[in-house]
Structure formats: C-alpha cells, structure tokens
Amino acid sequence: MSDAAIFIGVFGGLFVLRIIAATVFFFALLPQGDRCLNCDAPTLRVQRAFWHRWVPWFRPSWCMECGWKGLLRSGPITPVSTTPSLPTPGSLTKKR
C-alpha cells in the first residue's frame, strides 16, 4: 500500500469520525420533549418533509407563546386537556 493511500485513509477516517462525534455531541445537547427553550411552554410539531423522512428522532418545533422555532429531540409530550373550559356562572351575566 502506498504512502498516499495510507495518508488518505487515516486522515479521511479522522475527518469522518470528527463529523460523527460532533453530530452525536450536538444531538445530546438538544433537550428532549416538547417544551420551549425560552418560555417552557409546550410547542407544536412543525412538519417538514426533510426532517421527518431522514431524521425522525428530531422534532422541528414552534412555540405559540414566544415564537421560538427550532429542533428538539423526540420525547415525552405534554398532555393537553381536550375538554373545553366552561365559563363560570357569574362570568356570563351582563355587567352594569
């Protein structure tokens, strides 16, 4: 094996290993779940074809409270109440 092939193999391998290590490191930094990074409110999942198809463990998110958008890791979802909040009896009377 020539010296050039060894050089390309070693430094090419180190280059690929560096990309893999950085990807794993930054993936571990992303918070897991659906909470906003700024205001801790539950975020909505935004469907993007690329992220959903190629990296389904990422969760493109958008916060309705503060407008933050970004990636989170897929994780536990905050349960949302589906029962509508009924008005209290005193709130429907006309105020004079």
* Site residues (vs Zn ion, CB under 5 A): 36, 38-39, 41, 63, 65-66, 68
Shortest distance in whole angstroms from residue 67 CB to Zn ion: 7
Q: How many CB atoms lie within 10 A of CB 55?
A: 13
| CB nearer to Zn ion: pick between 63 and 72 | 63
Instruction: Report how far residue 82's alpha carbon sits from residue 33's, in angstroms, rounded to the nearest whole number.
Output: 20
| CB nearer to Zn ion: pick between 23 and 78 | 78
Shortest distance in whole angstroms from residue 52 CB to Zn ion: 22
Instruction: Report how far residue 42's alpha carbon sits from residue 68's, in angstroms, rounded to the nearest whole number.
Output: 11
| CB nearer to Zn ion: pick between 21 and 40 | 40
Q: How is residue 70 written in tokens?
A: 């970004």
The partner residues of 69 in beta bridges, in order of sequence, read 62
The partner residues of 71 in beta bridges, in order of sequence, read 60
Shortest distance in whole angstroms from residue 22 CB to Zn ion: 27
- Exposed / middle / buried, residue 45 (Cβ in 10 Å: 0-12, 13-18, 19+): middle
| CB nearer to Zn ion: pick between 19 and 66 | 66
Shortest distance in whole angstroms from residue 37 CB to Zn ion: 7
